[in-house]
Amino acid sequence: MSLDPTRRRIRDEMAHHLSELEAQLQAEGMCHEEAVAEAARRFGDQNRIEQATRAVAPGWGTWTRRVDVVRQDVTHAIRQMRRHGLVSGLTVYTVVLQDLSDERGRVRSETWPGPQAAS
């Protein structure tokens, strides 16, 4: 039975971490069999780790799930901006001014038309 690409990547990654831990334990003086057993004990339940990784790993879900997460984030951001209008307005104002200012905090003349632009 062939594994789907996501599952294969997760298992390959876990195998890599296990082999690294085994090598470290052998370098510390454990025999091969003890290192394998200790690495497996320290690593924990691989099925649980795989399930948790599939649930939260970015890019490993379906595209519809990713779109849904972005939609939820945007909806939450809009709701918070409406609820806290003053704070949102000040934040946007600060970001815009920060973008228009130089290192010393002065507004750059080429980005903000002042009295000299009226002539």
Report the Cα–Cα distance between both ends of the chain, in Å, rounded: 77
DSSP states along 36-96: HHHHHHHH--HHHHHHHHHHH-TTSS-HHHHHHHHHHHHHHHHHHHHHTHHHHHHHHHHHH
Confidence of residue 108 (pLDDT cuts 50, 70, 90): low
Q: Structure tokens of 24? A: 């470290």
Q: Structure tokens of 47? A: 């099925």
DSSP character at residue 113? -
pLDDT, tens digit (0-9, with 9 covering 90-100), for 45-84:
888 888 888 777 655 556 677 777 888 988 998 888 888 8
Q: Taking the C-alpha atoms of 95, 74, 50 and 20 in order, what is their torsion angle to the nearest 10 degrees? A: -10
pLDDT number for residue 106 = 65
Maximum Cα–Cα distance across the chain: 84
